[in-house]
Amino acid sequence: MRPAVAVVEDAALMRDSFSLLMPGLEVVAAVASVEELTDRRPVVDVVLLDLHLANLEQPDVRQGIAAIRTLTGCGYRVCVYSQEERRFVLAACIAAGASGVVSKALPTGRAEQLFLEVAAGGTVMPQSVVGILEVLVRRDCITLLSERQRQVLHGRARGLSYAQVARQLFVSESTLRGYWRDLTRSLSESLRDLTPGEIERALGLAPGDLLELWPADGTEDWWRTARRPGRGR
């Protein structure tokens, strides 16, 4: 049975072609804004969300962190689908409650596989976010990991495949995938509990570097300030 998904994307061509490009997904709603989706409230396994939704036709719609928080607040699992590549922006999406981040630069088949993983309850993180988390663990900003979990994270942060890490740890690939699924869920929860200041200190950033990127209570704009970063679909 195909998982039911909703697509929130301001580009009409993308909305209209999603079900054709990804036949493994049942697209039950394809809308231009979070507001339209929350009005409809379709029952779906995951919402596929473009980060940048404001345009000339809908300049005031929620987007970015505010969009993620609105959807998770309604009980939806969210997977970001965007061309955004800045690692702290992507990490902020996970911290805001997204269960996955998938790049629009990926081949369609690979993106569909990752969406299926999120729809099934998994967590999908880009390599850049895994790298941030590995540094936070090494510098004891995230501490509740076993030695085996640290080894798995270290291997994945270095870009090793599931099979390569499994061979290093003398476990089956299926066992390793189970480890990784549990680990990414745990790391996502830990990331959500950290403050911008804690992350800045652990990563050697200047105080305040993350303030306009990181989710905060009451965030209604793309970031905490009115100034918005350059558009990356």
Residue with tokens 């005031």: 60
Q: Inform me whether the pLDDT recorded for 44 exceeds 60.
A: yes
Would 214 be classed as within a structural domain? no
| Number of domains the chain contains | 1
Residue pLDDT, tens place only, 75-87:
999 999 999 999 9
| CATH number of the domain enclosing 103 | 3.40.50.2300
Would 222 be classed as within a structural domain? no
Residue with tokens 């076993």: 146
Comparison of pLDDT for 211 and 105, the residue scoring more: 105
Q: Rounded to an integer, what distance in angstroms lies between the CA atom of residue 57 and that of residue 87?
A: 29
- Token pair of 6 as six digits: 């909703």
Which among 122, 148, 154, 152 is positioned nearest to 136, based on CA atoms?
Answer: 154
**E strand or H helix that includes residue 78:** strand 78-82
Would 75 be classed as within a structural domain? yes
∠187-79-182 over CA atoms, to 5°? 30
How many other β-carbons are positioned within 10 Å of the β-carbon of residue 195? 11
Q: What is the domain extent for residue 41?
A: 4-203
Cα distances from 84 to residues 51, 68, 144, 164, in angstroms, run 8, 15, 30, 28
User: What average pLDDT does this structure show over 23-41?
Assistant: 96
For 79, the 3-state DSSP assignment is strand
Mean pLDDT of the chain: 89
Would 232 be classed as within a structural domain? no
- Token pair of 112 as six digits: 């569909």
The share of the chain scoring above pLDDT 70, in percent, equals 92
Would 82 be classed as within a structural domain? yes
Angle, helix 173-193 to helix 162-169, in steps of 10 degrees: 100
Question: Quick one: residue 38, left, alpha or beta (phi over 0 = left, psi -120 to 50 = alpha)?
Answer: alpha
Would 136 be classed as within a structural domain? yes
Chain centroid offset of residue 186 CA: 14
Q: Inform me whether the pLDDT recorded for 127 exceeds 70.
A: yes
Residue pLDDT, tens place only, 170-200:
999 999 999 999 999 999 999 988 888 889 8
In the chain, how many H helices and how many E strands? 10, 5
**pLDDT given for residue 22 in this prediction:** 96
Q: What is the chain's length? A: 233
Would 217 be classed as within a structural domain? no
Would 227 be classed as within a structural domain? no
